[in-house]
């Protein structure tokens, strides 16, 4: 009996350890929570779609753009549209496409990588008119796609298109405003706005340009720009207001910063002079985010707003940033691994049988009224959320042999 009791205690001891480890384990997921199961479905669904640009994502998003005076962006087939009717690939499409490439690389899925490259071919041949005009951060991020494609297949056409957008982001146009000239003279992008989403749109493009060319100038741009934003707009608690006149901790806005910092940190060498400042800003943000995570793994539309709805695109971005932090050793596995695991599982529970994420806040401009954020339409399958969900799956699959 004593021997049986000892064996029982040993079994109990080790089972307790295993159970505790599972709380923060980012390698072992099963069933519907498997990142490969989720990623394969989301990327497969994306490859079945046509290009998306401003307005044609879904009816509610179209209504939003019409109210903003931007309803000219619609879906069409065949010949190019008239010059007076600008239509071009929108940044939500870019974010999903980029995520699909990241995921397929991590999963070693050559079939998907080929299909994602074929999807780009018309944009450098028959449908060049869909390439965005490089006059805004949301447009220039398009260049990240061909640069990521180039990393998989060194086609000089990809490099040429991608670098044109990266270079343009630091080339002052003839009609630049005084503020744009000021930023340029300071060594920052003339497209600087101190908006939160810039720190994904600018840094992801410049980081891809660095990876494709190994020219440190591109990485230095991304790092200096990120430090500038951190110094200018990060709050004492590590989070960010949507805008100076919109002092609300909007979830997805903060999400752009969280993922942007993660992407820059992945590329910066240990001795880069800007790395300590970005790491400091990143860790401070993650520390505060962990405090605001709900018990069910979600974050809310306004991070500090318990009366606001639980929102998936911001949750996915925060989850992605924490996954990358744990996997790269920037964050404690025990604390942030558990937060990331809970976030991932909560997100999977928001997916329907078609692989469409629910509770995604629609496109949201800055606004001085708090109710503006509380009453935003909540969409299903919107690309802002689908993209961030794929980013999470890609981050979980990186260097993960268990779920491949």
Q: What is the DSSP string of 328-348?
A: TTSS-HHHHHHHHHHHHHHHH
pLDDT-derived band at 8 (thresholds 50, 70, 90) equals low
Residue 268, pLDDT > 60, answer yes
Looking at domain 37-397, which CATH architecture does it have?
Alpha/alpha barrel (1.50)
* Contact assessment for residue 351 and residue 376, using Cβ atoms and an 8 Å cutoff: no
- Rounded Cα distance between 290 and 334, Å, is 12
pLDDT at position 23 is 82
pLDDT at position 69 is 36
Lowest-confidence range among 67-71, 152-156, 236-240, 375-379? 67-71
Pairing mode of beta strands 378-379, 299-300? unpaired
Residues 142-168: what's their mean pLDDT?
Answer: 98
What is the percent of the chain where pLDDT is above 70?
85
Encode 197-219: b = buried (16+ Cβ within 10 Å), e = exposed: bbbbbbbbbbbbbbbbbeeeebb
- The phi-psi region of residue 108 (left if phi > 0; otherwise alpha if psi is between -120 and 50; otherwise beta) is left
pLDDT-derived band at 401 (thresholds 50, 70, 90) equals low
pLDDT at position 15 is 46
Q: At what angle do helices 312-327 and 333-348 cross, to 10 degrees?
A: 140
**Local structure of 386: helix, strand or coil:** helix
75-101 pLDDT, tens per residue?
333 444 444 344 689 899 999 999 999
pLDDT-derived band at 62 (thresholds 50, 70, 90) equals very low
Is 84 exposed, middle or buried (CB count within 10 Å of its CB: 0-12, 13-18, 19+)?
Answer: exposed
> Own/partner pairs for 286-291, CB < 8 Å, 24+ apart?
286/238, 286/258, 286/321, 286/322, 286/325, 286/331, 286/336, 287/238, 288/237, 288/238, 288/239, 289/238, 289/239, 289/254, 289/258, 289/318, 289/322, 289/339, 290/335, 290/336, 290/339
pLDDT at position 307 is 97
- Rounded Cα distance between 339 and 344, Å, is 9
205-223 pLDDT, tens per residue?
999 999 999 999 999 999 9
Encode 128-166: b = buried (16+ Cβ within 10 Å), e = exposed: eebbbebeebbbbbbbbbbbbbbbbeebeebbebbbbbb
pLDDT at position 70 is 35
Residues 283-296: what's their mean pLDDT?
Answer: 98
* Contact assessment for residue 359 and residue 309, using Cβ atoms and an 8 Å cutoff: yes
pLDDT at position 6 is 58
What is the percent of the chain where pLDDT is above 90?
79
**Domain residues of the chain, as ranges?**
37-397
Residues 296-312: what's their mean pLDDT?
Answer: 98
Residues 34-50: what's their mean pLDDT?
Answer: 96
- Rounded Cα distance between 299 and 314, Å, is 7
Q: At what angle do helices 35-47 and 383-397 cross, to 10 degrees?
A: 140
CA contacts within 13 A on the Cβ side of 315: 30
pLDDT at position 66 is 39
- Rounded Cα distance between 311 and 346, Å, is 11
164-203 pLDDT, tens per residue?
999 999 999 999 999 999 999 999 999 999 999 999 999 9
pLDDT at position 51 is 84
The chain-wide mean pLDDT, for the chain, equals 88
pLDDT at position 317 is 98
pLDDT at position 129 is 80
pLDDT at position 74 is 36
């Amino acid at each position: 009996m004593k021997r049986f009791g000892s064996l029982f205690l040993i079994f109990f001891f080790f089972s307790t350890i295993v159970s505790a480890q599972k709380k923060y384990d980012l390698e072992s997921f099963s069933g519907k929570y498997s990142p490969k199961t989720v990623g394969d479905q989301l990327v497969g669904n994306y490859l079945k779609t046509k290009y998306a640009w401003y307005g044609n994502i879904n009816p509610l998003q179209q209504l939003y753009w019409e109210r903003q005076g931007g309803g000219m962006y619609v879906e069409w087939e065949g010949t190019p549209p008239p010059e007076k009717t600008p239509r071009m690939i929108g940044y939500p499409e870019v974010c999903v496409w980029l995520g699909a490439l990241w995921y397929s690389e991590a999963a070693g899925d050559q079939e998907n990588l080929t299909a994602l490259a074929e999807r780009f071919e018309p944009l450098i041949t028959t449908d060049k008119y869909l390439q965005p005009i490089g006059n805004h951060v949301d447009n220039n991020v398009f260049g990240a796609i061909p640069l990521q494609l180039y990393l998989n297949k060194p086609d000089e056409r990809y490099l040429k298109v991608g670098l044109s957008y990266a270079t343009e982001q630091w080339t002052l146009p003839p009609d630049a405003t005084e503020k744009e000239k000021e930023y340029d003279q300071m060594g920052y992008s003339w497209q600087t706005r101190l908006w939160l989403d810039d720190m994904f749109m600018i840094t992801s493009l410049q980081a891809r340009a660095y990876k494709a060319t190994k020219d440190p100038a591109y990485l230095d741009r991304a790092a200096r720009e990120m430090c500038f934003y951190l110094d200018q707009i990060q709050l004492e608690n590590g989070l960010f207001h949507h805008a100076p006149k919109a002092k609300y901790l909007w979830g997805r806005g903060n999400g752009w910063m969280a993922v942007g910092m993660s992407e820059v940190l992945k590329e910066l060498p240990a001795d880069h002079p800007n790395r300590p400042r970005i790491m400091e800003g990143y860790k401070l943000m993650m520390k505060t985010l962990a405090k605001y995570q709900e018990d069910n793994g979600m974050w809310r539309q306004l991070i500090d707003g318990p009366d606001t709805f639980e929102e998936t695109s911001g949750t996915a971005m925060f989850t992605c940033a924490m996954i990358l932090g744990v996997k790269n050793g920037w964050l404690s596995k025990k604390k942030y691994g558990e937060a990331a695991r809970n976030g991932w599982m909560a997100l999977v529970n928001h997916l329907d049988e078609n692989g469409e994420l629910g509770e995604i806040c629609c496109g949201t401009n800055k606004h001085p009224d708090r109710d503006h954020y509380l009453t935003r339409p909540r969409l299903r399958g919107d690309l802002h959320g689908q993209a961030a969900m794929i980013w999470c799956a890609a981050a979980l699959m990186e260097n993960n042999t268990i779920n491949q």
